Amino acid sequence: MVVVDFFVAGGIVAWPLLGFSLLAITLIIERSYFWFRIQSRQSRVVKEVLKLYRSDPFAAIKRLKQNADLPVARIFLEPLELEAPTPAEFRLALETATNAELPLFKRYNSIFQTIITVSPLLGLLGTILGLMQSFSALDLGNAGGSNATGVTAGISEALVSTVMGIVVAVFTLLFANSFRALYQRQLALIQEYGGQLELLYRRLHEKGGRNYASTR
């Protein structure tokens, strides 16, 4: 009942803010699971693949296919599955695959930014509506005739809606910034790992002989 009374006190803007908060929590849980899955497995898989690729490229490709749910595995597979690419083609395929995976890392960023921007504005709108209600309950010509209940309700709506808008925006902003930092770190790691794979391929390509980069 206390929670319901709180939202009722917040007025009409409390309900879209509640919707924003539930949406933000849902997306935060999804993104947290996404990044946890990557952080817990990626480094180990990449190190194994790079080590395998030095001696057995086919085993490295097989290992990547076993972990194809990881973005970096799909990025590595793109050039490795080409039919005898030149180093330039290998690099181009690697860069193209990386660019194709970037939207996955930035998923829901626009929704987070919308919530962060709109929530305080909704809180401000609730503040204005609450103050309007308070002023409308005042009888300036007769101080004793003022509607104390209406004034109190208006002030309560103004304060509660402001607090809700700020809390939703700040809460979402903290996680959005964390996910943005993880994205920047992930991009740097992919570039580092991709550079190592490209270097290994160039060395194998220069040696000639068997085609180390293709698989059926």
**Is residue 178 over pLDDT 90?**
yes
Taking residues 192-205, report their average pLDDT: 88
Band of residue 63 on the pLDDT scale cut at 50, 70, 90: very high
**Is residue 146 over pLDDT 60?**
no
**3-class DSSP assignment, residue 50:** helix
Decide: 154 and 132 in contact? Cβ < 8 Å. yes
Decide: 100 and 107 in contact? Cβ < 8 Å. no
Decide: 188 and 150 in contact? Cβ < 8 Å. no
201 C-beta neighbours (distance < 10 Å), count: 21
Q: Helix 148-207 vs helix 2-9: angle between axes, to the nearest 10 degrees?
A: 100
Q: What is the pLDDT of residue 216?
A: 34
Both tokens of 92, joined, read 């181009």
Residue type, 75: I
**Is residue 9 over pLDDT 80?**
no
Residue 75 exposure: Cα atoms within 13 Å on the Cβ side: 28
Contacts of 5 (CB under 8 A, 6+ apart): none
Q: Helix 148-207 vs helix 71-80: angle between axes, to the nearest 10 degrees?
A: 30
Taking residues 83-106, report their average pLDDT: 90
Residue owning tokens 């959005």:
176
Question: Count of residues for the chain?
Answer: 216
Rounded Cα distance between 107 and 151, Å, is 44
**3-class DSSP assignment, residue 113:** helix
Alpha-carbon Rg for the chain in angstroms = 28
